[in-house]
Amino acid sequence: MDDNISSSSLGNISLAACLLEFLGYSKIFRRVQPLPFDRIVQLPGQPQVGFQQYSGYVTVDEKNQKALFYYFAEAETDPASKPLVLWLNGGPGCSSLGVGAFSENGPFRPSGEVLIKNQYSWNTEANMLYLESPIGVGFSYSTDTSSYELLMTRPQIGNPVLEFATDFNSRAEFFWSHGLISDTTYKMFTSVCNYSRYVSEYYRGSVSPICSRVMGQVSRETSRFVDKYDVTLDVCISSLLSQSKALSPQQVADNIDVCVEDETVNYLNRLDVQMTLHALLVGVQRWTVCSNVLGYELLDLEIPTIPIVGRLIKAGIPVLWRSRFCHPLTGSRTLIHQLAEELGLKTSVPYRVWFEGQQVGGWTQVYGNILSFATIRGASHEAPFSQPERSLVLFKAFLEGRPLPEAF
């Protein structure tokens, strides 16, 4: 589940509007001021808060009744002066509402029958707009089911796959360096059948016997009881044994519910919650984390997206590349460095640590004054979920256009 953000000032929405135009959703910005009947008085089980919330639909095609569902959380303080941030989850086909808002960086987390306040919510720094996209994801719908056939996936900026072979093949070194696979298996995984070859064969429906054997060995050694998106922490056992989830369970520290995605699924499938959110289920029986009705052309993964990042930089748009699994930092760092060289960008901030409080929050390197690379120490695939405080520090620095803290 790749995640992507774009930010702009509420008084100057040109960057976010350009991104939405690029994604085909420019009509959203005709409603930066949400309609009064979209206002959420209070979500079921929600603690008292001082900011406003809105949710509902934006019709993008009246003829075919295509509508995108959004959730908007105003900044906790002085929202008129705070930037507007658009959050899109990838997946492909995963929900920005259920993953981004309720599992990662939104104001609340489901816990049983109630919601608990997320003290590291990103709406402490910005007005947050979560969009369930494309049509067919979450509560977004179309009455014309042919709309769910996506012959070409739209590129998303944040940290999607940059280049198919480099990104996917970096998993072998990641698994080996973290002790998940043996030396023998690592050699097979890098020479006999690497991961990009296996994925390519799998999506073409013709996995070779040798790749099947290598991946079987990798799976046996890594174990189904290790979350491949977060290899250092425990898994949600009840979810794992039920095999009911489309994604690996994510979890963080002891004070955060390791089964938060299960809790989110239960919460968003409550009728009282759907009514409060002004949400509809059209063509599906239940809300799901990731769509099972979309028809993606998955071979589009082989189309590199790094040229898009280059075009953004050439257009003068600052880019921060935040690296975490499932596209390991080894691959991302290599590709970002190559991009900087191609664009003629010199290193302006040498590779160094950055701090959150009195602890190292991660590492960063800056090229020119427009391209930044950063890691979040201890983060899993969903960084704001696994390292919420460090992710918030990085997010705030990005919004303010200042370097990540180099001292404490």
List pLDDT tens digits, range 275-298: 999 999 988 899 999 887 777 677
Domains within the chain, CATH numbers bracketed: 3-157+254-296 (3.40.50.1820), 304-400 (3.40.50.11320)
Instruction: List pLDDT tens digits, range 293-343.
Output: 777 677 777 888 788 888 888 888 888 887 655 567 778 888 889 899 999
d(CA 236, CA 266): 15
Assign 3-state DSSP to the chain and report helix, strand, coil percentages, each to 5: 40, 20, 40
Which whole number is the average pLDDT over 377-402? 87
Q: CA dihedral in degrees (290, 61, 106, 154; nearest 10)?
A: 60
Helix (H, G, I), strand (E, B) or coil at 373: strand
- The pLDDT tens digits for 238-271 are 766 654 343 333 333 345 566 888 899 999 999 9
73 touches 51 (CB < 8 A): yes
Rounded to two decimals, the pTM is 0.77
Grouping H, G, I as helix, E, B as strand and the rest as coil, residue 162 is coil
- DSSP-H helix ranges across 122-236: 164-177, 183-187, 195-203, 209-222
In our burial notation (b when 16+ CB lie closer than 10 A, e otherwise), range 266-292 reads ebbeeeebbebbbbeeeeeeebbbbbe
Q: Is the peptide bond before 249 cis (omega within 30 degrees of 0)?
A: no
Long-range contacts of 173-181 (CB under 8 A, 24+ apart): 173/328, 173/330, 174/325, 174/328, 174/330, 175/218, 175/222, 175/231, 178/231, 178/232, 180/221, 180/222, 180/226, 180/231, 181/218, 181/221, 181/222
Question: Does 26 have pLDDT greater than 70?
Answer: no
Higher pLDDT among residues 77 and 156, named by residue: 77
What pLDDT does 249 receive?
Answer: 30
d(CA 15, CA 230): 33
263, containing H or E segment: helix 260-268
% of the chain surpassing 70 pLDDT: 79
Residue 3 pLDDT greater than 70, yes or no: no
CA angle 304, 310, 312 (to 5 degrees): 115
Residue with tokens 């989830």: 245
Confidence of residue 1 (pLDDT cuts 50, 70, 90): low
pLDDT at 142 over 50: yes
Q: Indicate whether 112 pLDDT > 90.
A: no
Residue 323 and residue 381: Cα distance in Å, rounded? Answer: 9
The whole-number average pLDDT for the span 11-38 is: 49
**225 near 249, Cβ under 8 Å?**
no
